[in-house]
Structure formats: structure tokens, C-alpha cells
Structure 1
Amino acid sequence: MHKLNVLAALKWYGVALLVILLDQITKNVASHVLVLHQPEPITSFFNFTLRHNFGAAFSMFHDAGGWQRWLLALLAAGVSVLLIFWIAKLPKQKWMEALALALVLGGALGNLYDRMLLGYVVDFIVVHYKEHEWPAFNIADSAICIGAALLVWDSLFGTKIAKYGDAK
């Protein structure tokens, strides 16, 4: 069992903080520059469109009546606490796992901040092809997806820690 190593984990908490800051700055700019639901084309397949997501990923539970705000906030807070301890328990060699968890943590806290302060999450990045559109997202969502992809990559191809010792 690994003991908590908060000092070693500080750099990963810094990564999470950077994600939160980038997320909140871009959401703030989007909220002040864009008009709700009015697309601002960037390319033929990408635009900025301010949207308020009252639900979860892909607007799941968007019209659930309000209870989802508290359930999703509680879930994000619980996962965040788990990630904070998980990161602190990782050995130094597990840097990719730590980075992945830091990205997920930053994204979860960025969206949690919106949900608690505003009652919804600010989304503004939209990718589309003709009339087919991917659900709007933000920097926090992107960090969560990149973190999840890194976790999968690391579990498949990353450095393996020996059962009873250090990295081999």
C-alpha cells in the first residue's frame, strides 16, 4: 500500500488548477462575447456557440427539473476527493496516470464551479458537419476526455509496475 505523498502530488494539483483557470477564463470570455445560442463560425466545421447545459455529458438530464444540479454536483465533488487522494498515492514513476487524473480532476472541478455558482455549465465549443452537430463542450470537458484517453493509453501501453517492486 502506498502512503500519501502530498508534496510530490503538488505539481499534479497545479496541472488541475491550470485546467480550472483556463476553463473559467474561456467560459467567462465566451459568456461576455457570445450571444446565447447564436453560432459564431470559425471554420466550416467548427464554431463558438454559447450554451447553458443544465444536465450532464451530452446534455443528459438537461430537462430533469432541477434535481440533477445537486446530484451531479455531489457526484463531481465525490469523484474529485477520490482523485485528490488517488494522485497523492501514486508512485513517482506513474507520471502519465497522475497527469491523466490531474486533467480529469481539473475538468471536474471546473464544471462543478459552474454548476454550483450558476446552476448550469457553460459550453461554447461546437464541432459539426453539415446539419450533424457534436454536443457543445468546453475546456473542462476536453481535459476530462484527454485525461480518460491517457488513462486508457497508460493502462494498455504504459510502464508496468512490478507486483512486488518498482518499475521494471
Structure 2
Amino acid sequence: MATKKKTFSSKPASGSMTPWLGIAFIIILLDQLTKITVSKLFVYGEEKVVTSFFNLVLAYNRGAAFSFLANEGGWQRHFFTAIGVGAALYILYLLKRHSGQRLFCWALALILGGAIGNVIDRVVYGHVIDFLDFHWKGFGHFPAFNIADTAICIGAALFVLDELRRVNK
């Protein structure tokens, strides 16, 4: 009786979520390592000038993007944590259903990693740690952000690009 030989491929099966979860994990790891490093090296509000347009600074964000709702009574911590957890669960569902769509899943994996990175901060510290501070002469400072925020923004841009490509087909 003949048996089929098992072959192993470096290319993931079209239904595999593993590569996308790996990307999300790398984002979470980079995000948390950079936040821990900055928290150990800086005191709150401390700034280090790196270039004429970029500083490192230790800032805390108790709200959402651009410190939206940051000055509320504390309920926003739980609200934004719940949104992050809900988004992560929905993204996992989408990754399972569409794991073969590369650009779409890249976008989802980046957003997932960023969302979980910021949820970890909210749960552990009660706020999100930000440290990347870009500014331009006379125009002031862009709100400080972190690796998780960067991943979310890149993921959102890839999501839009994927949708534009889909519409143009």
C-alpha cells in the first residue's frame, strides 16, 4: 500500500493565521520594549533633543488619539480598553476569514499589534506611554506618540490602499 509523502513548504497555507499573529506579536514586543526603555531612562515630561525636528519625551496619554477625553474622570481608561479589546477580537475574526489576502492581513496585523500594545499600557499603567515627539519650526509639536500608534496608522493606510486596489479591479 502506497502512502503519500508529507511535504513541507515555507509558504503558509492560505488559511493560516500564524504569519499575521507573528507580525502582531513583533509589533507588541517592539512597542513594549521601547516604552519600558524610555520609562526607565526618562522622568515624566523629560525631553531629549535628537534632531532639529525630533525629540524623545516621556509623556502619558490618558485619553485616545491627540489626548481626546484625557481630562475626564477616569472612565475613559476602561472605555478605551474595552474598545481595544473589542477591536482585537474583531480583527482576529477577520484574519481567520481572510488570511489569504496579504495586504488586507498586513493592515489588520499592524492594527492588532498596535491596539494590543496600547491596551497593555492602559491595563498596567492606567495610561498610554508616548515618547516620539516631532515638531517643525514655528508650527509647534505634533502630539507625542509611540510604536503602537505608528503601527495603527500604517495599518490604516494599508487598509485604505487595499480597498482602493479592490475597487479598481
**TM-score of the superposition, structure 1-length normalised?**
0.88
In 2, the alpha carbon distance for the partners of 1:21 and 1:67 equals 27
Contact 1:123 1:138 in 2 (8 A): yes
Tell whether 2:121 aligns with 1:114: yes
Matching residue within 131, 147, 153 for 1:139: 147
Deviation digits for residues 139-158 of structure 1 (CA, Å, limit 9, x no counterpart): 00000000000000111125
Identify unmatched segments of 5+ residues in structure 2: 1-12
Among all aligned residue pairs of Structure 1 and Structure 2, give the percentage whose two residues are the same amino acid.
42
List gaps (5 residues or longer) in structure 1: 162-168
Counterparts of 1:95 and 1:159, CA distance in 2:
16
- Alignment coverage as a number of residue pairs: 156
Asked if the contact 2:99/2:105 (under 8 Å) is kept, the reply is no
- Match of 2:30? 22
- Tell whether 2:62 aligns with 1:51: no
User: CA contact under 8 A between 1:54 and 1:119: conserved in structure 2?
Assistant: yes
Residues 81, 160 of structure 1: CA spacing in aligned structure 2 closer, same or farther, 3 A cutoff? farther
Instruction: Check whether the contact 1:52–1:120 (CA below 8 A) recurs between aligned residues.
Output: yes
Q: 5 Å matches for 1:1-168?
A: 8-92=16-100, 94-131=101-138, 132-157=140-165
- Using the alignment, how far apart are the partners of 1:54 and 1:6 within structure 2? 39
Alpha carbons 1:73, 1:116 under 8 Å: kept: yes
Structure with higher Rg: it is: 2
1:6–1:88 Cα contact (<8 Å) kept:
no
What is the TM-score with the length of structure 2 in the denominator? 0.87
Runs of 4+ in 1 over 6 A off after TM superposition: none
Two-structure CA RMSD over aligned residues (Å): 1.8
Change (3 A) 1:141 1:7: same
Q: Aligned equivalents of 1:38 and 1:130: distance in 2?
A: 20
